[in-house]
Amino acid sequence: MRITRVRLIELHGELDHDGELWEERVVRPIDVYPEHKHERGYPIASGGVGQERNARGAYPISSIFVSVETDEGVSGLAGTIDRQTAFVIDTDVAPLVIGEDPLAIERIWDKLYRQLIHARKGQPMFAISALDVALWDLKGKWLNQPVYRLLGGPVRETIPAYASMLGYSLEPDRVTSRAREVVGAGFTATKWFMRHGPDDGEPGARANVELARTVRKAVGDDVEVMLDAWNSWNARYAIDMAHRMAEYRPRWIEEPVKPDDIPAYARIRSASPVPIAGGEHEYTRWGTRDYMRAGAVDVFQPDTMWAGGISELMKMATICSVYDVPIVFHGSSVPVNVHISAALPPTLCPYVEYLIKWNDIRQLHLKHKVQPTNGRIAPSNAPGLGLDIDESTIADRRELSWR
């Protein structure tokens, strides 16, 4: 069996959503510049979702999937990906894999990594990740097995999910009602996103602490609360926030500083009464090694579709296990993440992140959506990853190519 074609398929549809889709956003590193500080929604890198409703009152959605096809008629699918990643796949990745054995996934990963010398981080690694995921989907279909079985699972049938509240209002009354809603839906953990950084002064700091207080009061003592600063604080501010929030017992404070500042992570962790999480914007086993050696985090959080794909995430999980650091995969790739999580011990992989609004967007075109039931989530039992396209959701489609 040989790879004959790599296709990039862009699908267009629309998402029905009651109320405003992006009620609020997380603080961003670029917010230190006044022209960006007061931007609403996600004006930069919005992930294929329109910021405004269309004439029908729905939000326009575009999704790009990569399909790897073979001379045996078996194909593998991965997505969604952004347009820049699609460009790299089409121009740099696809020419290198045509004619390869699609089951030789380690060979293909290593070949791409060695050829794309700038692929260590960023968009080229996104491209390698997407192709790797599609190859695992193909392998599962070829062998008529779900991917979690090929990875050694299941270790457990379902995994606890935490409700990740990106895009929801931070107005205290609405935080209270939404937090109680997710607990009522069976979630035993929830994550909320800070809106303020050091340049917002004491009023911003108090607002961050008030968010932690409000969520804890709403969910009670038995629900885990996570807080995300999305790379936008500095070490001194993060340590201050950790001490001020400690009484509300956060499960962790996430990404307090920029991902390249590993020494700052380690400094924060050593001084913080609250566990520190990070790694969403780190890549490969080598980046994992650097975080672990530095003692930088209590929880490591790589993204499957960014950090190297399924092949690499399994290696990263092994490194984390050596250092006794839990790994919780970033929640933008839930249908894939649950397969890896189901093949890892619960002590190593305690949660699946479920970004509620992002999964409405990213799974719009999937026939079999992977969603929590009573706060727990399970991988698809279909061969491969279970990523079948729902034709009824497609208003328009096109194939992308830059060659």
Measured CA to CA, the distance from residue 357 to residue 119 in angstroms comes to 30
What local confidence, expressed as pLDDT, does residue 44 receive?
45
Residue 106, burial from CB neighbour count under 10 angstroms (0-12, 13-18, 19+): exposed
The residues, ordered by sequence, that sit 6+ positions from 171 with a Cβ below 8 Å of its Cβ are: none
Residue 342 in tokens: 């189901």
DSSP 160: E
What local confidence, expressed as pLDDT, does residue 48 receive?
64
What local confidence, expressed as pLDDT, does residue 50 receive?
66
What local confidence, expressed as pLDDT, does residue 45 receive?
44
What local confidence, expressed as pLDDT, does residue 403 receive?
84
What local confidence, expressed as pLDDT, does residue 49 receive?
73
What local confidence, expressed as pLDDT, does residue 53 receive?
87
pTM, 2 dp: 0.97
Q: What are the angstrom distances between the C-alpha of 54 and each of 60, 80, 236, 392?
A: 7, 22, 44, 19
Q: Which residues of the chain have pLDDT under 50?
A: 43-46
CATH architecture entry for 149-377:
Alpha-Beta Barrel (3.20)
Measured CA to CA, the distance from residue 237 to residue 198 in angstroms comes to 6
What local confidence, expressed as pLDDT, does residue 190 receive?
98
- What are 18-70's pLDDT values in tens digits? 888 889 999 999 999 999 998 876 644 445 676 788 888 899 999 999 999 99
The residues, ordered by sequence, that sit 6+ positions from 117 with a Cβ below 8 Å of its Cβ are: none
Q: Reduce the DSSP state of residue 248 to 3 states and report it.
A: helix
